[in-house]
A and B are shown apart, each in its own frame.
Chain A
């Protein structure tokens, strides 16, 4: 289950900064399995693995605030997609 947020087109991260970002994300979102970020599109995708989609759906605004996102873009569960 994946939630994609727009955090703005930003600068690229060095390898060390990626480690720092990874720790910061996992500190505020302990249930996070993985993430990806494209400096080209500004899209941050949070991967929650195979958890109950309702658990993530009710917390979308919380996740948006935690990563200081501009906008929620997409929620993907299996091959179903909800777009904003």
Chain B
């Protein structure tokens, strides 16, 4: 007797749960130094509980950590920042801040693992610039559910959310980056809500999708945003909460 293997796998329902952001609003703002501090003011160590959780084993996933540092200038000036991962400089930058304006550094660490120390140092060319807010959150990108089979038919993004949702301070959102879905490493039109695909073949480079901020833009980099009234002011990403799919066996890699 011959036992046949079905061409399609069972229906897979992947649920992704994202941890709530860690936020701190200092009761008393702290003045920024006028030279780079030897010890960054803001630091987080990546822990298991910080990572997005999956209801099944996932073949490949890349985590992007977002660290935010915010404050306010009294006199117009320049705020400088440096991102460090495990003590090594990842990116640097600066931004002009108007008098009495708030600033927020949005720093994105691409490909973090449990135990990584992520730090953000802030300093200013003025003596009256302060910081009083920090936050941290982790998202997932370039996910591949199964190594074999890779071809998914269909692949439906059945639930989409956005984040991080920051609540402390007086938050505002500068923009929400769309999801970029990939088929054989070719980007499809961006999505911000539920979307169904007949066929998706995730390849090693980009997987099934990429998030906007922290992968497509600002991977291991950051930006300083300013606002006359809001702190933090930040980017959010759309991200999948649920993907429903079947794998197709016996397909030669394109």
Interfacial residues, chain A to chain B (CB-CB below 8 A): 2, 4, 12-16, 18-19, 22, 32-41, 43, 45, 47, 74, 76, 78-79, 81
B75 at the interface (CB under 8 A from A): no
Q: Is the CB of B94 within 8 A of A22?
A: yes
Q: Is the CB of B93 within 8 A of A79?
A: no
Known: A12-B89, A15-B80, A41-B221. 11 other contacts (CB 8 A): A15-B36, A34-B224, A35-B95, A36-B91, A38-B90, A38-B221, A39-B90, A43-B221, A45-B221, A45-B223, A47-B223
Whole-angstrom distance between the Cβ of B124 and the nearest chain A Cβ:
11
Q: A-side binding surface: helix, strand, loop or mixed?
A: mixed
Q: Is the CB of A22 within 8 A of B80?
A: yes
Residue of A2, A4, A43 with most partner-chain B CB within 10 A: A43
A-B contact count (CB 8 A): 79
Alpha-carbon separation in the docked complex, A32 to B96 (Å): 9
B220 at the interface (CB under 8 A from A): yes
Chain A residues within 8 Å of B224, by CB: 34, 47
Partner of B94, one of A35, A38, A74, A76: A35
Q: B-side binding surface: helix, strand, loop or mixed?
A: strand
Q: Is the CB of B175 within 8 A of A22?
A: no
Known A19-B125, A40-B90, A41-B219; judge A34-B80 contact (CB<8 A).
no
Q: Is the CB of B80 within 8 A of A36?
A: no
Alpha-carbon separation in the docked complex, A19 to B93 (Å): 10
Alpha-carbon separation in the docked complex, A18 to B224 (Å): 15
B214 at the interface (CB under 8 A from A): no
Interface size class of B (residues with CB under 8 A): 20 to 34
Chain B residues within 8 Å of A40, by CB: 90-91, 220
| Contact residues of B between 178 and 220, Cβ < 8 Å to A | 178, 190, 212, 216-220
Known A76-B217, A79-B175, A79-B176; judge A37-B96 contact (CB<8 A).
no
Q: Is the CB of A36 within 8 A of B123?
A: no
Q: Which residue of A lies closest to B174 (CB)?
A: A78
Residue of A4, A40, A76 with most partner-chain B CB within 10 A: A40
Type the 1/0 row for B41-68, where 1 means its CB is closer than 8 Å to any CB of A: 0000000000000000000000000000
Q: Which residue of A lies closest to B38 (CB)?
A: A15
Known A37-B93, A79-B177; judge A18-B80 contact (CB<8 A).
yes
Chain A residues within 8 Å of B220, by CB: 38, 40-41
Alpha-carbon separation in the docked complex, A79 to B235 (Å): 11
Chain B residues within 8 Å of A81, by CB: 216-217
Partner of B93, one of A34, A76, A78: A34
B232 at the interface (CB under 8 A from A): no
Q: Is the CB of B36 within 8 A of A34?
A: no
B15 at the interface (CB under 8 A from A): no
Partner of A15, one of B35, B78, B190: B35
Q: Is the CB of B91 within 8 A of A37?
A: yes
